[in-house]
């Protein structure tokens, strides 16, 4: 089977970047209420992590949540967390159920935050086998998993802002 093109990847990353900047500004300025798509929204506080171990503990706690276990079979598969070389990207390795995050560098740890970890966890919860790709890795099913995690853990306001930032395909599911 040929590899399916991941046409929504850039839109997902751009929407996440917008929301991360909004959350950062809310933290810096102490102003949590913003107007988004005509609605006043109080932005929740996003968790930040100090170490690979704290990310691992967080991931294990998320996977142990009853609603997560009942919704996704792969929540029963433990996830490992490791440091990743470089500072440009985080990623998920399905073959060994591992989230790889760039460590703290120059007093920054952009990947040691809840949205990034939940993004990688949404990849882990994908029920499809790697060779069963009917849509790109960041397609509608991924977006549904990611928004469910963000909404259920960070808060429905964060999921709303992510949706309003263009994470979902405006034309609907891809075919």
Q: What angle do CA 89, 118, 5 make, to 5 degrees?
A: 60
User: CA–CA separation, 164 vs 161, rounded Å?
Assistant: 5
The CATH class of 9-164 is: alpha beta
pLDDT at 170: 63
In this structure, are residues 121 and 79 in contact, taking their beta carbons and an 8 Å threshold? yes
pLDDT digits (tens, 9 = 90+) for 54-102: 999 999 999 999 999 999 999 999 999 999 987 778 999 999 999 999 9
Average pLDDT for 24-44: 93
Average pLDDT for 119-128: 95
Instruction: Give the distance from CA 68 to its chain's centroid.
Output: 14
Q: What tokens were used for 88?
A: 């440009």
Helix or strand run (H / E) with residue 81? strand 80-84
pLDDT tier for residue 175 given thresholds of 50, 70 and 90: very low
In this structure, are residues 170 and 140 in contact, taking their beta carbons and an 8 Å threshold? no
Helix (H, G, I), strand (E, B) or coil at 38: coil
In this structure, are residues 116 and 88 in contact, taking their beta carbons and an 8 Å threshold? no
pLDDT at 172: 54
Beta bridge mates, 41: 34
pLDDT tier for residue 168 given thresholds of 50, 70 and 90: confident
Beta bridge mates, 92: 99
pLDDT digits (tens, 9 = 90+) for 127-143: 987 767 678 889 899 99
Beta bridge mates, 34: 41
pTM over the 0.75 mark:
yes
Which residue, among 38, 41, 56, has the nearest Cα to 151 in the 3D structure? 41
Q: What is the mean pLDDT of the chain?
A: 90
Distances (CA, A) of 151 to 2, 5, 39, 106: 33, 27, 17, 31
Helix or strand run (H / E) with residue 15? helix 9-29
pLDDT at 109: 80
């Amino acid at each position: 089977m040929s590899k399916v093109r991941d046409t929504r990847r850039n839109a997902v990353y751009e929407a996440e970047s917008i929301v991360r900047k909004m959350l950062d500004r809310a933290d810096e300025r102490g102003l949590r209420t913003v107007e988004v798509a005509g609605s006043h929204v109080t932005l929740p506080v996003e968790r930040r992590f100090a170490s690979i171990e704290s990310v691992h503990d967080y991931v294990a706690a998320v996977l142990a949540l009853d609603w997560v276990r009942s919704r996704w079979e792969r929540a029963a598969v433990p996830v490992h967390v490791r440091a990743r070389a470089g500072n440009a990207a985080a990623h998920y390795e399905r073959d060994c159920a591992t989230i790889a995050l760039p460590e703290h560098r120059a007093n920054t740890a952009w990947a040691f935050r809840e949205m990034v970890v939940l993004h990688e966890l949404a990849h882990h919860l994908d029920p499809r086998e790697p060779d069963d790709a009917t849509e790109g890795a960041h397609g509608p099913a991924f977006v549904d998993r990611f928004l469910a995690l963000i909404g259920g853990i960070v808060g429905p306001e964060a999921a709303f802002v992510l949706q309003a930032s263009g994470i979902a395909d405006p034309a609907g599911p891809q075919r």
